[in-house]
Each structure stands twice: as C-alpha cells, then as structure tokens.
Amino acid sequence: MKNTLEYKGYLGTVEYSTEDNCLYGKIIGIDDLVNYEAQSVEELNTYFKEAVEDYLATCKEVNKEPNKTFKGVFNVRTSKDNHRALSMIAEKNKMKLNEVINKAFDFFITNEDKVLG
C-alpha cells in the first residue's frame, strides 16, 4: 500500500488527522508549501490534482520555475565496510567511486518497487 498520490509527475502525501477527522497532504519535491485536504479518498485525489494545477498556473503566472532545485550533490553516510567494498568495486572496474554510486542509484530508481517491495 502506498500513501502517495501521483499526477503529472508530482507526488503528494496522504495523511489522516484524527483530531480534525479529515484526510490531508502536501505536494512533495517542490520549494513551496502546497497543501490540500478532504473528507474522502476520492475528494483528496481531486483536490491534490487541483493543487498541482494551481501550483503550475501560479508558477507560470509569476514566471517561476516549478519544482525543487537540486544541486546533485549530497553527503551519503555508510559503514566502513560498505565504503571499502564500493571503493574496491570502483577500482576493479577502473571507475570512480561516484560512477559506481550513480550506477547503484540508477538501479535502485529503476527497480524501486522490487527493492522496497
């Protein structure tokens, strides 16, 4: 079971508030905060799609690039054993460590459902 909605390449969370007795969520992967809420799953899906459409329209209106800005650089912490093993794989294949890591990322992204079940 997934707790996300998808529309036009955007993902939205699905949460439930016992206090307010409603479903709610936000669009993820963007710099702005865009929320939506509803009383049913069907409504939540509709309001999520409307939120995406409104977000895209607003970005266009104010001449802003939608989505989150990613630099492509981040630190990854792993065990010493994993670091060593990956470095050895890189050396053995005459590759840089970043190339090996990016191949692993590509595999994971392509096989997300199989890897995460």
Interval 24-72: pLDDT, tens: 999 999 999 999 999 999 999 999 999 999 999 999 999 999 988 888 9
User: Are 11 and 56 part of one and the same domain?
Assistant: yes
Express each pLDDT in 77-104 by its tens digit: 999 999 999 999 999 999 999 999 999 9
User: Are 12 and 55 part of one and the same domain?
Assistant: yes
Q: Are 13 and 4 in contact (CB under 8 A)?
A: yes
User: Are 56 and 16 part of one and the same domain?
Assistant: yes
Give the C-alpha separation, 14 to 48, whole Å.
10
Q: Are 34 and 55 in contact (CB under 8 A)?
A: yes
- Give pTM, 2 decimals: 0.73
For 40, the domain range is 4-61
User: Are 18 and 53 part of one and the same domain?
Assistant: yes
User: Are 57 and 84 part of one and the same domain?
Assistant: no
- Asked if the structure places residue 14 within a domain, the reply is yes
Give the number of domains in the chain.
Answer: 2
CA–CA–CA angle 66, 69, 71 (5° rounding): 155
- Asked if the structure places residue 70 within a domain, the reply is no
- Asked if the structure places residue 44 within a domain, the reply is yes
Q: Which residues pair with 5 in a beta bridge?
A: 12
User: Are 57 and 103 part of one and the same domain?
Assistant: no
Give the C-alpha separation, 39 to 81, whole Å.
49
User: Are 52 and 97 part of one and the same domain?
Assistant: no
User: Are 12 and 45 part of one and the same domain?
Assistant: yes
- Asked if the structure places residue 75 within a domain, the reply is no
